[in-house]
Amino acid sequence: MSLWEIVRHRLVLGVGTLLFVSVLVFVGTEILPGDVAHAILGQNATPELLDQVRERLGLNEPLHVRYFVWLTNFVSGDFGASLANGADIGTEVGRRASNTLLLALSTAVIAVPLAIALGLAAAVKPGGLVDRAITSTSLMLISFPDFLVAVVLVTIFAIKLRWLPAIASIRPSYDVFDWIRVLILPVTALTFTILAHMVRMTRSAVLNVLSSPAIEMAILKGVPRRRLLLRHALPNALGPIVNVVALNLAYLISGVVVIETLFNFPGLGRYMVEAVTNRDVPIVQTCAMIFCSFYVLLNMTADILSIMANPRVRYKK
């Protein structure tokens, strides 16, 4: 298969996955007790009113018809209006998503290079002091849930030392420095949670490559240690590393619910949590679909990148 065919194949698979997920999301929110009409009318629900609202919203149509209407609207960018306050979901999602993206990107920019560097450092001498320090610390960090890390950070830096704000709410008047001050704690907490996976995967992927005959050959032909790691081992270990990085980046977009809620950060995660509390079904559906799209997109990119990192695929015989 040529590279283009592989990419096309992955794209088709990605779209297929998204369609499947959209069915799950739609059906999942449908089978929740009480429908949208109930949610809108709340205390005022009488059978007659319910019928009227259902008629108006098209809720009496069969399930598959409503699914296709919903999907068509979603794909064309019409996410509908909030049930709680009638506000356009699209506008709000745009604002929230850019906040979440900023948080995710800041974390990624710090965490990914740091993880690869630490993983490499650990792989240089397996079983050595540096390796043991890095692996045991990362194991410890994996074991701590992210909210605990966040609470500990807040206790130390916001409450005891009073260096940083405990809450990361955003005001329009903020300049760059305010943004940085606000983001430090959530970014640190997130970095701790995603760092460990990437460090450990980098370490084991590099170690795996280091035990290959190609590396023994490189040692025997006199390649210096540093170059051995960076030019010979790392490029061959990229496949698994790219994949775990993508998984963690996807987590940064969709899994930040806890951190966003804890720091009261106005991102997509908190938007969804609020919508769940209000039974604001269209928002929940939209957020779920956006999270899934990021997952699929990032994993697909990782797949394609790790395939491209392999010269066997890039250059045919």
Binding site for other proteins (CB under 8 A): 211-214, 216-225, 227, 231-232, 235-236, 309-312, 315-317
301: exposed, middle or buried (C-beta count within 10 Å: 0-12, 13-18, 19+)?
Answer: middle
Q: Report, in Å, the least distance between residue 62 CB and other proteins.
A: 38
User: 88 pairs with which residues across the strands?
Assistant: 81
Q: Closest by alpha carbon to 294, among 111, 100, 147, 110?
A: 100
Nearer to other proteins, 1 or 117 (CB): 1
Do residues 29 and 284 lie in contact, with contact meaning Cβ atoms separated by under 8 Å? yes
Instruction: Tally DSSP H helices, then E strands, for the chain.
Output: 15, 0
Least separation in angstroms between CB 126 and other proteins? 10
CB of 218 to other proteins, least distance (A): 7
Closest approach, Cβ 122 to other proteins, in A, equals 17
Between CA 186 and CA 255 the distance in angstroms is 13
CA 301 to CA 142: how far, in whole Å? 25
CA-based nearest residue to 197, from 117, 138, 137: 138
**Secondary structure of 193-214 in HEC code, one letter for each residue:** HHHHHHHHHHHHHHHHHHCCHH
The smaller minimum CB distance to other proteins, of residues 1 and 19, is found at 1
The token pair at 296 is: 């699929």
47/213 with CB nearer other proteins:
213
Measured distance CA(229)–CA(251) in Å, rounded: 29
We find the least distance from the C-beta atom of residue 116 to other proteins, in angstroms, to be 16
CB of 61 or CB of 216, closer to other proteins: 216
- Residue 133 CB, nearest approach to other proteins (Å): 22
Q: Which long-range contacts (CB under 8 A, 24 or more apart) does 148-156 make?
A: 149/189, 149/192, 149/193, 150/185, 150/186, 150/189, 150/258, 150/259, 150/262, 150/263, 151/262, 153/185, 153/188, 153/189, 154/185, 154/262
Closest distance between other proteins and the C-beta of residue 305, in Å? 14
In the complex with other proteins, the residue whose CB is nearer, 171 or 226, is 226
Q: How far is the CB of 130 from other proteins (least distance, A)?
A: 17
Question: CA-CA distance, 283 to 84, in Å (whole number)?
Answer: 10
